[in-house]
Amino acid sequence: MKSTDAILNACAMQYQRAQVDLDLVMHVGMVIDEVAVYFDRTTELDAFVEEAAERGWVADRGASVPLDAMFEDGIVMGFNVRFEFLHKENVPWRIEAMHVLDGWAPLHRRSNAGDIIHVSGKVEAGNRGQYENLKLVLARAGLPFQKEYGNNYGVFSYFGHQAPYFKPRVNMRDV
């Protein structure tokens, strides 16, 4: 697995690169607020969260999700995910540390521990129309659509040729 410092640096670089691509290259009005990192095992995720805390990143235990089932078109896709969210003062984005607990996660199958899976931006809670419009804008910018999923949080999609993907999302839970 990559070192915690290497992962944190990669997250910061990916955040900057993705936001520049969205703003200046594709002219897409999506604000990146999250960078997701994949871990092969729960122990790796836990070690990363602990070591990131030593570097000023705070785990948002209220947002942690120990088990979340993903579904596509209303059908459970057969994979469950654990999420831990970390934030740091004066950093405009958070880290989503994730581990696929079981099942088949098609877009994550080629990932290694410490790989960045996606950069994400959300639209106004409950605004499905704004979310659908953002999907159209990303497609028109030349990013291929990969998948759309739902979970306890809401709905989200993956765009791009490979990881790290662009992931627009809409919160339908807290409306």
Q: Find all residues with CB under 8 Å of 91, minimum gap 6, and list them.
A: none
pLDDT at 29: 84
**Per-residue pLDDT tens over the stretch 87-112:** 999 999 999 999 888 877 777 766 78
pLDDT at 18: 94
pLDDT at 34: 95
Query: CA–CA separation, 118 vs 155, rounded Å?
Result: 15
Residue 72: count of CB within 10 angstroms of its CB: 13
Query: CA–CA separation, 107 vs 89, rounded Å?
Result: 31
pLDDT at 6: 97
Which domains are present in the chain? 4-171 (3.10.180.10)
pLDDT at 153: 84
pLDDT at 136: 94
pLDDT at 76: 64
Is residue 45 within 8 Å of 100, Cβ to Cβ? no
Backbone angles phi, psi at 42, to 5 degrees: -60, -35
Which own/partner pairs from 7-13 qualify as long-range (CB within 8 Å, at least 24 positions apart)? 7/37, 7/48, 7/114, 8/52, 8/55, 8/57, 8/95, 10/114, 10/116, 11/35, 11/37, 11/95, 11/116
pLDDT at 13: 97
Residue matched to tokens 């499905």:
128
What are the structure tokens assigned to 145, written together? 């659509």
The whole-model pTM stands at 0.90
Measure Cα distances from 30 to 37, 127, 144 in Å.
Answer: 20, 14, 16
Q: What is the mean pLDDT of each run of 10 residues along the chain (175 residues)?
A: 94 96 88 94 94 96 71 70 93 94 73 88 90 93 91 90 92 83
pLDDT at 59: 92
